[in-house]
Copies of this chain bind each other. A is one copy, B any other.
């Protein structure tokens, strides 16, 4: 597996450099891209967040750096064990495993940060080291994937096999897309809507691979969407609640997030948000709730965000600011269970394509 070889090589290289410093009687040090906010820039050409050129040095001769230097070395060696043995670990488990080695993390936030440092240093994302968060999204649709995980190597699975959806866990993320009959990916915020679109065979009608995001998409789900977009040439549409939070779920899929700016191949710049927009709320007479202060503050924040500076996005934000109301995806049910399938999605997808 090239992924595995590549990871092992990069990790071994780190170790070699450190050993060579020690053999030369020098304090080992590591230079890695600076992940602080002042080095995260929005690249308007590619339409996504990237790291700038600033570097940071972690020097074991500096007493302030010794601890994080050692933590980074341990995480690198743990990652190498995972890759070598074809094993996976949750972020939480890494935090606990450190105790077995006498490595001290204050809390999981600290070990998560060091894992991000390792990603930065190697240019390899933690999923390739076998490190995953606990949460996951689901997928359903006419896609055949081929597993690479131990015990399932080469086995193919059709993602319509479970009518309840298929979990996007570590095994599926490392699987390879083989073929599809679908024409698009439709990512959906809520589980209720996802189930309805399966049950009403929307996946067949619209030729859509359905993805249940369940709020902000986990990074691994964004990777899988991007992989399907690239390997199977499927355009991506995102259907969320009609509020600043829903809008931002779509935006992170499109343009990435600041805290994953060091990870390549996550953003999907040509993904499209199909609503629920403020305009849809009016057009389809959806039942609404008033925006609360938190919602209104969030709109103001988004208006300042470099990802929302285009005229299209500004207009969407302004429309919500004027409306001061929000609506959930499920609100379409007021027009009958199947209104969203019969009316709304055909309207929006025709328009988007």
* B161-A165 in contact (CB<8A): no
CA distance A167 to B147 in the complex (A): 18
* B167-A88 in contact (CB<8A): no
Interface status of A205 (Cβ within 8 A of chain B):
no
Interface status of A232 (Cβ within 8 A of chain B):
no
Q: Mark A258-288, 1 if CB is under 8 A from B, else 0.
A: 0000000000000000000000000000010
Q: A149-B163, A331-B96 are in contact. Are A191 and B134 (CB under 8 A)?
A: yes
Q: Which residue in chain B gives the minimum CB-CB distance to A132?
A: B195
CA distance A163 to B169 in the complex (A): 8
* A90-B147 in contact (CB<8A): no
Q: Which residue in chain B gives the minimum CB-CB distance to A166?
A: B162
| Residues of B with C-beta under 8 A to A163 | 147, 149, 151-152, 169, 171
* A88-B330 in contact (CB<8A): no
CA distance A172 to B152 in the complex (A): 23
Q: How far is the CB of A77 from chain B (nearest CB, A)?
A: 13
Interface status of A92 (Cβ within 8 A of chain B):
yes
Copies held by the complex: 2
> Which of these, B95, B132, B162, contacts A167 with CB under 8 Å?
B162
Q: Which residue in chain B gives the minimum CB-CB distance to A331?
A: B96
CA distance A340 to B149 in the complex (A): 22
* A167-B165 in contact (CB<8A): yes
- Residues from 74 to 95 in A contacting B, C-beta threshold 8 Å: 87-90, 92-93, 95
- Residues from 325 to 353 in A contacting B, C-beta threshold 8 Å: 328, 330-337
- Residues from 175 to 210 in A contacting B, C-beta threshold 8 Å: 190-192, 195-196, 199, 201
Q: A163-B151, A168-B164, A195-B90 are in contact. Are A100 and B335 (CB under 8 A)?
A: yes
Q: How far is the CB of A226 from chain B (nearest CB, A)?
A: 19
CA distance A152 to B168 in the complex (A): 22
Q: How far is the CB of A325 from chain B (nearest CB, A)?
A: 15
CA distance A71 to B166 in the complex (A): 35
> Which of these, B89, B96, B136, contacts A164 with CB under 8 Å?
B136
| Residues of B with C-beta under 8 A to A192 | 89-90, 92-93, 134
Binding site for B on A (CB under 8 A): 87-90, 92-93, 95-97, 99-100, 132, 134-136, 138, 147, 149-152, 157, 161-172, 190-192, 195-196, 199, 201, 287, 328, 330-337
9 tightest Cβ-Cβ pairs between the two chains A and B: A164-B169, A90-B192, A163-B171, A99-B334, A134-B191, A96-B333, A97-B333, A164-B167, A96-B330
30 contacts between A and B (CB under 8 A): A87-B199, A87-B337, A88-B195, A88-B199, A89-B192, A90-B191, A90-B192, A90-B195, A92-B190, A92-B192, A93-B196, A93-B330, A96-B287, A96-B333, A97-B336, A97-B337, A99-B333, A100-B333, A100-B335, A132-B195, A134-B192, A150-B199, A151-B201, A152-B163, A157-B161, A162-B171, A163-B169, A164-B171, A165-B169, A170-B195
